[in-house]
Structure 1
Amino acid sequence: MNKVLTLLSALIAGFAALIWTGAGETSDPVLADREIPADIASRCAVSATGELEVCHQPEFTRRWVARTARGDLFMVTNELCQSSSCRAWLVEKAGGSAVTLLAFDRSFQLQEGAGGYPLIETYSEISSTQGAYSRFEWNGASYARTANRLVYQVDGRECGTREECNTAAHEALKQHQVDRAVKILENVNGVSWI
C-alpha cells in the first residue's frame, strides 16, 4: 500500500509541476547571454573626445524575479560596473524573445506588485547632500513613474525631505545641538545662522 501511495504522490507532484511551469518550460527560468536585449548588451563607453572606446564584454548577472501572464521577469546588472551611475534593467522574456521593460539606477528595491510585475523604488545620488527616490509601477502596458521624492543628507546621514529636515533641525535645537541644527539648515535651506 505504501508503494502505491508513494507512486501516486510522485505522479501528482509531477503533474502539478508540469501544469505550473507550462508546456515545454522548465521550473528554473533562464535568460541566456544571447537573449539579453541589444539595448543592454551593446552599451559602449564614449571617451571625452567623442570617440567610441573599446568595448569589453560585460559580466551580466541575471536574477529571475517573477512569472507574469506573458512570461518571466529578470533583473539584469553589469557586475563590472562599479560607479554610482551603474544601471539595472528589468527584462521580460516571453515567446522566445526578451525586451527591456525599464532601465534604472542600480540602487533599488523591489516590492510585490500586481500581475507579477514588481513595484520598483530606486535611489539616485544627485550630490553629496541630495538624493532622489523614484517609484515605478506597472500600468498594464508599461512601467510609469508614480512618485519622485527629493531627500537631503547631512554628515552622510539622510534626514529626509526639506520638511523632515527642518523638523529634525528644530528637534536638534530643542536638544541644544546647535551645530547639528545649523548643518541641517545650511545644507537644506542655505541658512548659515539661526
Structure 2
Amino acid sequence: MRKILTILGALCAILFWTGAGETSDPVLSVTEIPAEIAASCADSAAGEAMTCHQSDFSRQWVAKTDRGHLFLVTDESCLGNGCRVWLVEKSAGSVVMLLTFNKIFRLHNGSGKYPVVESYTELAASQGVYSRYEWNGLTYTRTSSRPVYLVDGWECGTLKECRFAASEALKQQQVDRAVKIWENTHGISWI
C-alpha cells in the first residue's frame, strides 16, 4: 500500500509540476523550427562576414511561460559577426519567433517569465552597440541602446567614458594611448 501511495504521489507531483499534457523535459524538434529561421542562412546579405554551410540548429530551453516554453535557437554552422540567435515560444500547436538578436548576448531574469535580453553588435572594428530588449506583455521591444568604442581591442565605453579614459591617459603621460582613443572616437590624430 505504501508503494502505491508513493507512486501516486510522484505522479501527482509530476503532473502538478509540468501541467496537464506536458513533459518534464520540454523539447523543440528541428521540424518545429519556424521557416523564417530555417531559411535565414540562405537569405543572409552578400558580403556579410558570415559563412553558411548546411544549418546545424541547436535548441536550448530557457523558461516556461503561461502560453508554453521559450527556447533559444542558434545555427552552430554560422561563423562570423552576422550570426543570429532566435528566441522562440512553443505553445500548443505552434512555434512563434519572438526576437532575433546577435550571437553575443546575455539573458537576465526580468519582472515576469520572459527574460531580459542584452545583445552586442559590432558595427565596425572600433565601434559596437549594446541593445536591451524587454517583454512588454505582447512583444519584445528595445528599451535601450548604448554605443561603445573599442581601442586596440579594449572597450573604453561610451563617448563620455572614452573622453575620460583619454584624459586619464594624458595625466599618466601615455600620450600614444590618448591619441589612439581620440582617433577612434573623434577621428582626431593629434591632441
Report sequence identity in percent.
Answer: 58
CA distance in 2, matches of 1:147, 1:46: 26
The number of aligned residues is 185
What displacement does 1:192 show?
1.5
* Equivalent position of 2:145 in the other structure: 148
| Gapped regions of structure 2 (runs ≥ 5) | 47-51
Report Cα offsets for 1:86-127 as digits up to 9, x if no partner. 111000000121010011111111001133211000100000
* Equivalent position of 2:110 in the other structure: 113
| Gapped regions of structure 1 (runs ≥ 5) | 49-54
* Equivalent position of 1:51 in the other structure: none
Instruction: Report the secondary structure of 1:116's partner residue.
Output: coil
* Equivalent position of 1:163 in the other structure: 160
CA distance in 1, matches of 2:27, 2:7: 25
* Equivalent position of 2:74 in the other structure: 77
What displacement does 1:174 show?
1.2
Quote the RMSD (CA, aligned, Å): 1.9
* Equivalent position of 1:124 in the other structure: 121
Paired residues of 1:69 and 1:115 also in contact (CA < 8 A): no
Q: 2:90 aligns with which of 93, 101, 105?
A: 93
CA distance in 2, matches of 1:69, 1:128: 42
Instruction: Report the secondary structure of 1:152's partner residue.
Output: strand
For 2:97, give the aligned amino acid.
T
Higher strand share: 2
Instruction: Report the secondary structure of 1:115's partner residue.
Output: coil
Instruction: Report the secondary structure of 2:79's partner residue.
Output: coil
Q: In the superposition, relative to structure 1, how do residues 77 and 184 fare at CA in structure 2: closer, same or farther (>3 Å)? A: same
Q: In the superposition, relative to structure 1, how do residues 147 and 119 fare at CA in structure 2: closer, same or farther (>3 Å)? A: same
What displacement does 1:190 show?
1.7
CA distance in 2, matches of 1:137, 1:83: 26
Worse overlay, 35-44 or 145-154: 35-44
CA distance in 1, matches of 2:45, 2:149: 32
What displacement does 1:173 show?
1.1
Instruction: Report the secondary structure of 1:114's partner residue.
Output: coil
Report Cα offsets for 1:129-183 as digits up to 9, x if no partner. 0000000000000000000011000011000000000011111111111111111
Paired residues of 1:35 and 1:98 also in contact (CA < 8 A): yes
For 2:17, give the aligned amino acid.
W
CA distance in 1, matches of 2:21, 2:59: 21
